[in-house]
Each structure stands twice: as structure tokens, then as C-alpha cells.
């Protein structure tokens, strides 16, 4: 039996406090999270795909590495709340502090917008450099629930599914970089934790798109542990 299942739109909504705890306070509940990723980059008429591994370690540490030959072009990245390390072409290392402005075009020779790579990771508020502070909540004219908040120098606008309570959309606006629009799709409940199996990041024009496909999940928390070999693809 698969240890995770698709989140149904007919399930009862989660309260806002539960939602924020499950999505934004990973460091208080997760020991580690690892998965295989496939990243598809679409820039105009150019499409590039790469495979790799994403590892999360508490509190809020991410390691993203790509298999050969993709790492020769894209490089590898390590992110914490206080620093960002980037290995370009598998050799050159770049170090940035939490307050430094980081732009992908300065790291990767591709026509990316001026995105901060921390904001592209496939989790809400992935590029945090401080605690997430909720500023306001509102319901728009068509019944969609929004949560607006700040995390360091970044502003996060989160759209919440009114039926399941999961985050479906996030816009990140960080100082001196271009906004990122993130769409969260195909959610699974991994022992009660909602994990998006597909996340699409795009610029405001929709011309540049980066899509994450996540599989082979291995999640460890203080309450449970399950084997990666038991997860579905």
C-alpha cells in the first residue's frame, strides 16, 4: 500500500493555524526530507531538462545536486537561512550571505529573469532568511483565501485552496530581483504531510517557466519514518 495518497477536494478544510504549521514551519517538525527531482526549464523556444536530488535538513537547510552531465551546466546549490553556496560547473564555489542579492543569470549562463535561486525551491517560503510574519489575510471576490506575509526582505502572497487548505499559488517579491510566481499542483498526503508532486515557477509574463516533478520521497519526522523504497513513483 502506498504511504501517500492524493489530497481530495472533498476533504474538510484545514484551519489556517494548521495550514501555516504544516507548510511553513517545517523546521519544527521535519528531521529530513529527500526526493528525486526532474527539472524542466522553458525559456522561449528553448527547453532543457535535468535530473537530480533534493535534500532538506532541519532547520531549513536545502541541498540540490544534479547528476552528470547536468551539473556541468546548472551547478549545485546549498541553502540555509544565513547563507547560499553555489558550485558552478562542478568546480567554482560562490558564497553569499542572507542579505546579499543573488541573481541566477550571474550564476548560470542562461536567459533567466533576475530570480533569486532560493525562491525557486519547490516549497512555500523556501528562500527564508528570517521567520515568516503574517501581515494580513483576505478573501477575494471569487472566494479565494489569501495570506500575505514577509520573510526577511521577501514578500510572499499565498493563495489557499478553500476546500483542502493547501497552498495552490505563491508570488515572491524580493528586493532587487524579479518576482517569481509559483504554482503548486498534484498534492499528496505523506503520512499526513501535504507534499506537492509538481511545482511550476514562472515569470510574470509566463515566457520563462521552471517545472519541478518530485518522486521517491523519503520523509523523516519525530513522529514517523518510512522507507523510500515503499513510495510510489
DSSP labels for 137-151? EEE-TTS-EEEEEEE
Residue 164 · residue 10 · CB < 8 Å: no
Rg for the chain, CA atoms, rounded:
17
Domains of the chain: 4-218 (2.50.20.10)
List the chain residues with pLDDT less than 70. Answer: 1-25, 27-28, 89-91, 222-233
Report the C-alpha gap between 71 and 89 in whole angstroms.
Answer: 6
Pairing of strands 180-190, 4-6: antiparallel
Q: How confident is the model at residue 233, as a pLDDT?
A: 34
pLDDT digits (tens, 9 = 90+) for 21-68: 556 667 667 888 999 999 999 988 889 899 999 999 888 899 999 988
172-179's contacts with Cβ under 8 Å and 24+ in sequence apart are: 172/119, 172/127, 174/116, 174/119, 174/127, 175/101, 176/101, 176/114, 177/101, 177/102, 177/103, 177/114, 177/115, 177/116, 177/119, 178/113, 178/114, 178/115, 178/203, 178/204, 179/203, 179/204
| pTM score, whole prediction | 0.84
Amino acid at each position: 500500500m502506498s504511504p501517500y495518497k492524493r489530497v481530495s477536494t472533498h476533504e474538510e478544510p484545514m484551519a489556517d493555524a494548521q495550514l501555516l504549521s504544516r507548510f511553513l514551519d517545517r523546521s519544527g517538525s521535519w528531521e529530513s526530507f529527500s526526493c528525486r527531482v526532474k527539472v524542466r526549464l522553458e525559456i522561449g523556444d528553448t527547453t532543457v531538462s535535468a535530473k537530480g536530488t533534493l535534500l532538506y535538513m532541519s532547520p531549513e537547510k536545502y541541498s540540490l545536486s544534479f547528476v552528470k552531465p547536468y551539473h556541468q551546466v546548472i551547478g549545485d546549490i546549498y541553502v540555509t537561512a544565513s547563507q547560499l553556496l553555489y558550485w558552478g560547473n562542478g568546480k567554482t564555489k560562490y558564497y553569499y550571505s542572507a542579505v546579499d542579492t543573488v541573481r541566477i543569470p550571474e550564476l548560470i549562463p542562461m536567459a533567466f529573469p533576475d530570480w533569486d535561486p532560493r525562491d525557486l525551491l519547490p516549497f512555500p517560503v523556501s528562500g527564508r532568511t528570517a521567520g515568516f510574519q503574517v501581515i494580513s489575510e483576505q478573501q477575494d471576490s471569487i472566494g479565494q483565501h489569501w495570506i500575505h506575509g514577509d520573510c526577511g526582505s521577501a514578500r510572499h502572497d499565498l493563495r489557499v485552496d478553500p476546500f483542502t487548505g493547501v497552498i495552490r499559488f505563491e508570488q515572491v517579491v524580493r528586493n532587487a530581483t524579479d518576482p517569481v510566481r509559483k504554482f503548486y499542483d498534484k498534492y499528496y498526503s505523506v503520512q499526513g504531510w501535504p507534499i506537492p508532486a509538481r511545482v511550476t515557477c514562472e515569470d510574470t509574463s509566463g515566457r520563462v517557466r521552471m517545472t519541478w516533478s518530485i518522486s521517491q520521497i523519503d520523509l523523516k519526522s519525530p513522529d514517523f519514518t518510512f522507507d523510500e523504497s515503499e513510495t510510489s513513483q
